[in-house]
A and B are shown apart, each in its own frame.
Chain A
């Protein structure tokens, strides 16, 4: 029977865990940290019920290590953490990017820096998500703004990881992770599942990194009969180091970027609301977008032509989608729970064509619709 009668009251963290199960995640490793622990707790109970593997590792470094290790054998693997743990994962995140190993890292953001404020929300990891690991690398990051969207984007993150042989980040936050909403759980036949492409050539012919442009090289699982090796050292199409060949180093690192850049239209999602005639655009993501929705409505009620650009994909940044509005707008209003991380990126995108103002909080409290409205009203008057 279809489970179309299954309305659940879930927290965002519950929805993340259940989304992982629906997506086919069969390996999860984690280390406890507020406000992400419930994802581990739910999966510790649920994954074994589904015949799948849960393990609590000795730290976040080991969590991501084992996730990537499991992915080598064909598992759909995921971990979940918050700021301090996300910091510990950065080195292995770089390895997963370079070795092109699918995996999902959920970061339920809390206030930083350091231990910060463990139980309160933040959007302070947007730049850590982009540049936390060293070296030039591409990354995919998604940000849900509701419980249902946490479920959907967890599935999407797993699918994108498989499709692009890449780590994918899900940036939730303490509000989205801990709040409860009711949601209809989609029937399994309504859920799109993507599995990584396996090689079609014989084991003798297989080269684990043979690809050009935006292609994604097929990935054999260890144990499938394909013998292949890789390393975090920059390697050629065979997976072996090519550090004495500058042309090959250049080609391979650019290929990693092209893999994401050439497919950005498939990866980038933006939720545009009332943007057709908008003069003021609010750009928001995650929990802050909930206040932004209300603020735009309040502005419209007052006769102000306001619209919302809700970033669902954060990285790669939805620049093309935003640039099309620059000439019609008086200003972008950018509310965020940090001191301007999205705003800084938006400035790069807009290149001075349109005014940008921030609404920023780092006191562990949420940005209210009224705060955003005030900023919108100021820009109308300006």
Chain B
């Protein structure tokens, strides 16, 4: 791809420099998200970004878009109100794995269940970055964090499985190594009518990486490259070969399911019809 084809995202950015550590993957996820907006050619004032609390949630602060950073874990519940309040807005949630799957786990499964037309970009760095590298519901067993100095004993969630069993209708995963795929998937998620989850595998070399001797940013990105297997390719592989792999690409798409703001409109139509009788 020639450099000229990379969309210019400077109009979406404001208030830089950011606070992220060197080697942090968050900027790549944000860049991928902004390029998806540019590709879709959305009216800038018709996008609303609700962000989580965490390093990743800080992303909203750098965007020249409507948006707010409310309370830890609640971004999806706030976003539900924004979307119901103005269904024409493209509502995007940017939040971490701790924010979304731990303190906000209940809101996550219920947003999936309602199938509301909101796009969640889930920054998964396998840990809590902002508070100093504690373990998250995504930390694999045995891994070290500041609150699992002897290795993590808690089981972990797979956000994709959780989203699927909870009713999300567009689910995809990519990594910061695969930035252009990530951007395409976010664009598809935004275009999809219904709740979409795009899990963005990212890295925290400063804390999680260092504590688990995973190398610097380059080595951690290299690991993401090696671990990722596209869903298409995986279809031809046996389960043993897939054991330690990270499935990427579109992992579940269901078209035609009733979207929540439409369902609310249907209720209104029903109530008004009954009242008129």
**A residues neighboring B (CB under 8 Å):** 27, 29, 45, 48-49, 51-55, 57-59, 61-62, 65-75, 77, 91-92, 95, 99, 203, 221-233, 240-241
Contacts and interface: CB of A to CB of B under 8 A. Distances in A.
Interface string B102-126: 0000110010000000000000000
17 contacts: A48-B268, A48-B272, A49-B275, A58-B77, A69-B84, A70-B84, A71-B85, A73-B81, A73-B89, A222-B86, A223-B66, A226-B45, A228-B66, A229-B63, A229-B65, A230-B68, A231-B60
Given A69-B50, A223-B46, A92 B71 contact: yes
A227 B50 contact: no
B88 interface: yes
Interface string B51-95: 000000000110111111111001001111111111011000000
Contacts, number: 145
B264 A55 contact: yes
B271 interface: yes
Interface of B: 15, 44-46, 48, 50, 60-61, 63-71, 74, 77-86, 88-89, 106-107, 110, 264, 267-268, 270-272, 274-275
A62 B105 CA distance: 12
B56 to A, nearest CB: 14
Given A66-B80, A69-B79, A49 B271 contact: yes
User: SS class of chain A's interface: helix, strand, loop or mixed?
Assistant: mixed
A57 B64 CA distance: 30
User: SS class of chain B's interface: helix, strand, loop or mixed?
Assistant: helix
Contact of B80 (A62, A77, A229): A62
Given A55-B84, A68-B81, 9 more contacts: A45-B271, A62-B107, A72-B66, A72-B81, A75-B81, A203-B45, A229-B60, A229-B61, A231-B61
Contact of A65 (B80, B85, B268): B80
A77 B264 CA distance: 16
Contact of A225 (B15, B45, B48): B45
B197 to A, nearest CB: 17
B244 to A, nearest CB: 35
B106 A69 contact: no
Q: Looking at B66, B74, B81, B275, which has the most chain A CB atoms within 10 Å of its CB?
A: B81
Contact of B81 (A51, A58, A67, A225): A67
Contact of A73 (B45, B74, B86, B275): B86
